[in-house]
Amino acid sequence: MALFRTRSAAVFGIDAHLIDVEVDMYPGGNSRDFVTVGMPDTAVRESRERIKSALINSGFGYPNKSVTINLAPANVRKEGAGFDLPMALGILGAMGTVQRSDEHLLVGELSLDGTLRPVRGVLSMAVCAKRQGIPNLLVPADNAAEAAVAEGVNVFGMRHLSEVVAFLNQPDKFQPAVSPSAIPATLDGSTPDFRDVRGQTAAKRALEVAAAGAHNVLMIGPPGSGKTMLAKRFGGILPLLTFQEALQTTQVHSVAGLLPRGAGLLSQRPFRSPHHTVSDAGLIGGGSGTPRPGEVSLAHHGVLFLDELPEFPRNVLEMLRQPLEEGSVTLARSAMTLSFPANFMLISAMNPCPCGFFSDPTRECRCTGAIIQRYLSKVSGPLLDRIDLHVEVPAVPYKELRSRDNGTGSREMRERVQAARDIQQKRGFYNAQIPSRLIRNICALDDAGERTLELAVRKMGLSARAHDRILKVARTIADLDRSESVTAKHLAEAVQYRSLDRNYWT
C-alpha cells in the first residue's frame, strides 16, 4: 500500500482555502477501481478519465491497482477541474515517480495529452498559499501572470504534466514567474471623451461631482438626449485603480473566469452594463452549487450602468439596496454563506414615461397619468433614497447640437476629480462612504448652510438618509472647489440634485 499527499486549494466567494489531496494506492483491484471522496462535484469525479489518459499519453503509464483519493476537509464541496493536477501528481507520487514535498501548492486542469489548461480563481489561491506559508505555487502557464501578482510566493507556470514532474524532482532548474507591471501611468486613449457630447453642461457637472465623491447617479430624460453617451464616458474621468483596488477587482474577475488568458492585474476600472432581462442571480450573484459573483461584484471599484432602469424587474432592483448601502453582497445557502465585495458606483438612466416625452416641450406625451405613475413606481422610494444625485438630461437644442464649442473634455474633468479624491484620501475614505458618526464633523455647516438645509428638509420631506447624502454631496462639491468648509453655495447645489425625484414621483 502506498499513500501520497499533495496540496491544492478551493475557492469560496473570493477567498481560497487549503485542500489536502490524499492518494492511496493498493493491490487487489484493477485500473478501473478509481474512487474520489470528499464531496466532489461532477467535474471532479470525471477527472479520473482525464488523469488516466494524461498519465498514459505523457509516458508515465497507469498502475493496474485500486486508487482512492480523498479531498480533505471532507465536509466542504469541491468543484471544478483544478484538482486534476494535484490528483495526478498524487498518483505519480504513490507510484514513486516524484518525491514527497509539502512545499508546493498545485492547481490545473489536464488535457488528455497532459497539457495544462487554465482555471479560475488562481489569484485567490496564490493569496491562500502566502497566508498558509506555502512557498511555491505551480499553476498552468496561462495563469502564471495572474498568480504572480501576489507577492511573497514563488509562482511557476507549467505547460505540461511532464514539466511539473521535472520540477518536483529538480526544482533548482526552474525560475519563478515575474509579476508584470499592470498599472499604467496614464489612461489609454480608448475611452470615449466627454467632448463628444454636445450641450448637457449640467449633466456633465453632476457626473463630475459623482466621480469626485464616488456617488450614485440617476439620469432622467427623453430618448436621444445623450444619457447613454454620458454614462459610457464616465469611466474616462475616474482615477486610476490603486494597487489594492486592482488586486481585489482582479480576484473577483478571476473567480468569475473573466480574466483574459495570460492577464495579470486589471488596469482599468470595470464598467458593467447588464441588459434589463438580467436575473436576480445574474445581477447580485448566486447560481447552482457554489455561488458565483454577479454584476454588482464584477463592477467592484468600478461602474454599474443600468440603462432603462424601470425595465428591470422590480424584485431585481430591490436587491440593490444591500450592496448600495454596505458595499458587499451576502449570499446565504443551505451549505454555506458567502460574501462578495460590491463597492461600485451606480449610474442609472431612464425615460420619464413609457413613450419618453413626458415634460418635453417639443414632443407630445401620449401616456396617461396612471400609466406614467405605474411606470415610475417600478423604481421604489427606498432605492431612490440610496441614489445621491438625480439629474435631468433634457433634449439638446439645435443650436447647441451644431455648436463648435466642444465644452470640457474628460482629461480636464479627470484632473479635477483626482484633486478632489486626493483630499478625501487624507481623511481615509471617499465622501460617499463617510461614516455616520463623522458626518457632522466632516460636513460642518455655518449658519447660512444650516438654514438652507433645514428649509430643504422641511419643504421636500427628505428622509434621514437623504439628509446625510446631501451633506456628503455638498462635501464633495466643496472638495472640487478646494474649500475647507461646506458653504451654503455648496449645499444649495447638493439640494438641487435631490429635487428631481419630487418632480416626477409626487
Q: Is the pLDDT of residue 332 over 90?
A: no
Instruction: Give residue 501's pLDDT.
Output: 58
Residue 254 φ then ψ, to 5°: -65, -45
Q: Are 233 and 141 part of one and the same domain?
A: no
Q: For residues 377 and 230, state if they share a domain.
A: yes
In this prediction, residue 506 has a pLDDT band, given cuts at 50, 70 and 90, of low
Averaged pLDDT for residues 473-481:
94
Give tens-digit pLDDT for 21-78: 999 988 866 656 889 999 998 889 899 999 999 999 999 998 888 899 999 998 888 8
More confidently predicted of 58 and 13: 58
Higher pLDDT: 187 or 459? It is 459
Nearest Cα to 158, choosing from 65, 58, 27, 231? 58
Q: Indicate whether 400 belongs to any domain.
A: yes
- The CATH number covering residue 218 comes to 3.40.50.300
* Same-domain pairing of 201 and 52: no
| Number of alpha carbons in the 13 Å side-chain half-sphere of residue 99 | 9
CB 491 within 8 A of CB 505: no
Say which residue, 104 or 263, is predicted with more confidence: 104
Confidence band, pLDDT 50/70/90 cuts, at residue 290: confident
Asked if residue 478 has pLDDT above 90, the reply is yes
Distance of CA 461 to the CA centre of its chain: 35
Same domain? 159 vs 198 = no
Is this structure's pTM higher than 0.85? yes
Residues 454 and 316 in one domain: no
Whether 233 has a pLDDT exceeding 50, the answer reads yes
Question: Does 482 have pLDDT greater than 80?
Answer: yes
Whether 210 and 358 share a structural domain: yes
Q: Which three cell numbers stand for residue 89?
A: 501528481
pLDDT band at 351 (very low <50, low <70, confident <90, very high): very high
The answer to the question of residue 428 being in a domain is: no
Q: Are residues 158 and 252 in the same domain?
A: no
Cβ–Cβ under 8 Å, residues 154 and 146: no
CA 85 and chain centroid, separation: 29
At 181 the pLDDT is 53
Q: Where residue 502 falls among pLDDT bands split at 50, 70, 90?
A: low
302, 337 in Cβ contact below 8 A? no
Which pLDDT belongs to residue 395? 86
Collapse the DSSP code of 359 into the 3-class scheme (helix H, G, I; strand E, B; otherwise coil) and give the result.
coil
Do 294 and 384 lie in one domain? The reply is: yes
| pLDDT on residue 65 | 86
Sort residue 230 into left (φ over 0), alpha (ψ -120 to 50) or beta.
Answer: alpha
**pLDDT band, residue 268 (cuts 50/70/90):** confident
Q: How many DSSP H helices and E strands does the chain contain?
A: 22, 18
Distance CA 252, CA 246 (A): 10
In angstroms, the CA 206 to CA 194 distance is 13
Q: What is the DSSP code (8-state) at residue 212?
A: H
Q: Is the pLDDT of residue 217 over 90?
A: yes
Q: Supply the range of the domain harboring residue 267.
A: 194-408
Q: Tell me the C-alpha distance between 162 and 114, whole Å.
A: 8
User: What letter represents residue 135's amino acid?
Assistant: P
- Domain assignment of residue 178, yes or no: no
Assigned domain for 100 exists: yes
Residues in the chain: 506
| CA 145 to chain centroid | 19
The lowest-confidence range among 245-254, 348-357, 403-412, 414-423 is 403-412
Q: Is the dihedral of CA 437, 430, 257, 6 positive or negative?
A: negative
Please name every residue paired with 341 in a beta bridge, in sequence order, or none if there are none.
Answer: 328
- pLDDT confidence of residue 193: 86
Phi, psi of 105 (to 5 degrees): -110, 130
Please report which residue ranges of 339-463 form alpha helices under DSSP H.
369-376, 381-385, 398-401, 410-427, 439-442, 447-460
Q: Any idea which of 107-111, 263-267, 430-434 has the lowest mean pLDDT?
A: 263-267
- Distance in angstroms (rounded) separating the CA atoms of residues 67 and 91: 8
Across the chain, mean pLDDT equals 88
Does one domain contain both 276 and 402?
yes
Q: Are 44 and 83 in contact (CB under 8 A)?
A: yes
Phi-psi region for residue 167, left (φ > 0), alpha (ψ -120 to 50) or beta? alpha
| Domain assignment present for 231 | yes
Q: For residues 39 and 76, is the Cβ–Cβ distance under 8 A? A: yes
Do 205 and 149 reside in the same domain of the chain? no
Contact criterion met (CB below 8 Å) for 323 and 330: no
Range 208-231 average pLDDT: 93
CATH number (domain holding residue 49): 3.30.230.10
Whether the predicted pLDDT of 422 surpasses 90 = yes
Orientation angle between helical segments 488-496 and 464-480, nearest 10 degrees: 120
Q: Which residue would you say has higher pLDDT here, 196 or 298?
A: 298
Whether 334 is in a domain gets the answer yes
Q: Given a cut of 80, is residue 89 above it in pLDDT?
A: yes
One domain for residues 230 and 309: yes
In the predicted model, what is the mean pLDDT of residues 324-333? 88
Contact 363, 222 (CB under 8 A): yes
Counting residues of the chain whose pLDDT is more than 90, the rounded percentage is 52
For 442-456, write each residue's pLDDT tens digit.
998 888 888 888 888
Taking residues 384-388, report their average pLDDT. 90
Total domains present in the chain:
3
Dihedral (CA of 288, 291, 294, 298) sign? negative
Over the stretch 300-316, which tens digit does the pLDDT of each residue have? 999 999 999 999 999 99
Three-state DSSP class for residue 251: helix
Q: Which tens digit of pLDDT belongs to each residue from 136-180?
A: 999 999 999 999 988 889 999 999 999 999 999 888 888 888 776
CA neighbours closer than 13 Å in the CB half-sphere of residue 6: 29
CA 113-118-121 angle, 5° bins: 145
pLDDT at 1 over 50: no
Question: Quick one: pLDDT at residue 63?
Answer: 86
Cell of 289: 452549487
Contacts of 5 (CB under 8 A, 6+ apart): 20, 21, 22, 23, 90, 93, 100, 102
As a whole number, mean pLDDT of residues 220-228 equals 90
Instruction: Tell me if 116 sits within 8 A of 89, measured CB to CB.
Output: no
pLDDT in the model for residue 212: 95
Question: Is residue 321 scored above 50 in pLDDT?
Answer: yes
- Examine the domain organization and report whether 84 and 27 are in the same domain: yes
pLDDT digits (tens, 9 = 90+) for 95-106: 888 887 778 999
Dihedral angle over CA of 30, 34, 35, 41, nearest 10: -160
Residue 499 falls within a domain, yes or no? Answer: yes
For residues 254 and 336, the model is more confident at 254
Assigned domain for 179 exists: no
Interstrand relation of 337-341 and 328-332 (parallel, antiparallel or unpaired): antiparallel
> Cα 280–281–286 angle (5° rounding)?
145
Question: For residues 335 and 33, what is the distance between their CA atoms, to the nearest angstrom?
Answer: 30
Boundary (domain end) residue, out of 106, 139, 173: 173
pLDDT tens by residue, 178-215: 776 544 445 555 678 888 888 888 999 999 999 999 99
